[in-house]
Amino acid sequence: MRIGDFRASYAHDEALWPTRVQQTWLAALAVALVMLPFGVNGYIVGLACMVGIHCIAAAGLNIMTGYTGLISLGHAAFMGVGCYAAAWAAQRGMPTLLTLLWAGGLAALLGIAVGLPSLRIKGLYLAVATLATQFLLVYVFREWDSVTGGVRGVNVPNASLFGFELLNDHRMYYLIVPVAALMLVAARNLFRTRVGRAFIAIRDKDISAEVLGINLLHYKLASFAIGSFYAGVAGALLGYFYRAMTPEYFTLQLSVFYLAVIIVGGLGSMLGTILGAIFMTLVPELLRAGVALVAQWAPRATEILSPVQQVVFGLLIIGFLVFEPHGLLEMWRRVRRVFHLWPFRA
């Protein structure tokens, strides 16, 4: 039960984790994250890395779509841009952390270019424009052999931190997770300032936003830039994680996956982003385990794993939209309310 929760200063009121209990949980989580790779097998560490990458990408998409209302069906293409940019730079000796900035920056510039029409076209039309961009960029990935390696793909050199090569998932974990944590907190910080508030204002009522002095084009472009920056960094980390990349990875299907992550997790919330990323990474794993189990009786089951995944994916999106539109975040909040009010009823 939450009692004695009062704030004696505005600074305290504005803090992200004001109560003692929250701070304790946060510390415990930090310790758990640091210790995780030592306690579990390599496969789970790999999964954790993917969750981290998904968190970064989905956070960027949530900034654009969840908070600012700019629907993007081309997020995967921006990840691709980041990935190829990082690979290109790393092959030429650029230090890893710098390649992350380079990848994000390039993706951000492209994001601004794609976002320029957003003043004239809104909603559905913007979604279609981003869809077209998605296909065009994949075409570029496939054809621009000299930079992207074309259909064969590109080899990404090993990531390294301060001379220490990250040769396996275990080590990549200690690059990905801190970067993800940092970027998630940074994203949350946006919305404690006028920049983030402007984004939400644009989403909710852009006419009102203008009347308050918000230059719509400026802030829409900023949203595209930041969201694409996140995508670029996620793409770069993905490249380092897999050590090789082909254009087939960054297709519409991946863009749709990230949209599902933020819808299932909760639009307009960083906690929702994390919940969605974890959930949507676990679902295919659970399906795989389930199918392996069923395969004992029905051998054909393994053949249809991929289409079944598609069906489950589609049904999840539909299910959440119809029954729980605010996503896992809302379910989480309900649980929290029960704990805050216990032993009284929520």
Partner 1 sequence: MTSALLQADAIHLGFGGIKALSGVSLAARAGEITAIIGPNGAGKTSLFNAISGFYKPQQGQVRFEGRDITAQGPARRAALGLARTFQNVALFRGMSVLDNIKLGGHTRLAANPFTALWYLGPARREEMALRREIEREVIDFLEIDHVRHQSVASLSYGLQKRVELARALAMRPKVLMLDEPVAGMNREETEDMARFILDIQEERGITVLLIEHDMGLVMDISNHVVVLNFGQVIGTGAPAEVRHNPEVVRAYLGDKAAAGVSA
Partner 2 sequence: MTGGFDWIALAEYSLIGLLSGGLLALIALGFVLIYKGTGVINFAMGEFMMLGAYFFYTANVMWQWPIWTALPATLAAVALVAGLIERTLLRPLSGQPVISVLMATIGLASALHGGVDAVWGGKNYEMPALLSRKPFIVGDIFIPGQVVWSFLLAAVVITGFTLYFRFSKTGIAMRAAASDPLTAYVLGIDVRRTQALTWMFAGMVGAVAGIVVASMTSLSPALGGAALGVLAVIILGGLDSIAGAIVAGLVVGLIESLTAAYLGGKVRDIVPYAVVLVILLIRPYGLFGTRRIERL
Tally the residues of the chain: 346
Calpha distance 102→108 (Å, rounded): 10
| Greatest pairwise CA separation for the chain in angstroms | 66
The footprint of partner 2 (CB under 8 A) covers 65, 69, 71, 117, 120-121, 123-125, 127-129, 131-133, 135-136, 139, 142-143, 207, 256, 259-260, 263, 267, 303-304, 306-318, 321-322, 325
Calpha distance 340→346 (Å, rounded): 8
Q: Is 54 in the site for partner 1 (CB under 8 A)?
A: no
How many residues sit in the footprint of partner 1 (CB under 8 A)?
Answer: 34
Neighbours of 56 (CB within 10 A): 30
Q: Is 211 in the site for partner 1 (CB under 8 A)?
A: yes
Nearest approach, Cβ of residue 77 and partner 2 (Å): 11
Nearest to 57 by CA among 273, 321, 343, 213: 273
Nearest to 179 by CA among 251, 229, 254: 229
- Residue closer to partner 2 by CB (options 132, 289) is 132
The mark string for 251-290 relative to partner 1 (x by CB under 8 A, - otherwise) is: -----------------x----------------------
Calpha distance 5→12 (Å, rounded): 11
Among partner 2, partner 1, none, partner that 215 touches (CB below 5 to 8 angstroms by kind): partner 1
Pick from 57, 222, 245, 260: which binds partner 1 (CB under 8 A)? 222
Calpha distance 34→108 (Å, rounded): 30
Applying CB under 8 A, which residues contact partner 1? 10-11, 13-14, 186-187, 189-190, 192-198, 200-201, 203-205, 207-216, 222, 225-226, 268
